[in-house]
Amino acid sequence: MSADLRPGLLEERVGALYRTDADGRLLGSNEWDSRPAPRFHLMRTAAGPILRGRADLPADLLQRLQALSLQEPAEQAFTRLPAQYDQYLAALAEQAPVEKIWAGPAYVLPPQQTPGLEVVNIDAGARDVLRGRFDDWLEDVAHRWPFVAVIAEGAAAAICASVRISPTVHCAGVETHPGFRRRGYALAAVTGWASAVRACGATPFYSTSWDNLASQRVARRLGAQLVGVDFHVT
């Protein structure tokens, strides 16, 4: 286990993704504008599976999903989908039709890197640099911190902000304007954000979908450590 991955950190990372009830059941995403939670979330790690179920999932179904998850191999080179993929879907389909499936890698970002390009902190006084390129992030400024940007031609060209936050874990949300891609701006924004998160005493996590090849390239260029694969079903 990496020195950065103290025991329990990956469980805390899954916990940072959602609002939960007293029993740890999922209620919604852990965001200021909380969104519906999936029916279940599985994070496969080298140490074994971490599984959480939504609050309305029947107890017997959750137990079946948990039993299936214990059959997942502990992996170092992760497969894209769980070994028990078909069995999870079949069990969930007995309750309700499967509406959405999502899977992708999760990384921890390395410490002590410099952005390479200048990044600026985005707060209420600096939010106007988002206008015209990232208008849908304007309301997030008050709720997602750290929030940083790389500026080009007078406005934000790439941004990175904490989209899921707990005392020990921050999860990155990153976007590059289409007119400024493939210039290293996302790399710089994520690096600056990760440094700010570590300055807060938390660990920066970066995750994406298997379909997002550009985002995976950013992770590789950052030297990010692959620590698991998320799989969730609604």
Q: Are strands 155-165 and 147-152 parallel, antiparallel or unpaired?
A: antiparallel
- First-to-last C-alpha distance (Å) of the chain: 31
Domain ranges across the chain: 9-108, 119-222
H-run or E-run covering 21: none
For the domain made up of 119-222, give the CATH fold: Aminopeptidase (3.40.630)
d(CA 89, CA 204): 31
pLDDT tens string, the chain, 234 residues long: the values are 444 677 799 999 999 999 999 999 999 999 999 999 999 999 999 999 999 999 999 999 999 999 999 999 887 779 999 999 999 999 999 999 999 999 999 999 988 777 778 899 999 999 999 999 999 999 999 999 999 999 999 999 999 999 999 999 999 999 999 999 999 999 999 999 999 999 999 999 999 999 999 999 999 999 999 999 999 999
- Note the pTM of the prediction, 2 decimals: 0.93
d(CA 111, CA 92): 40
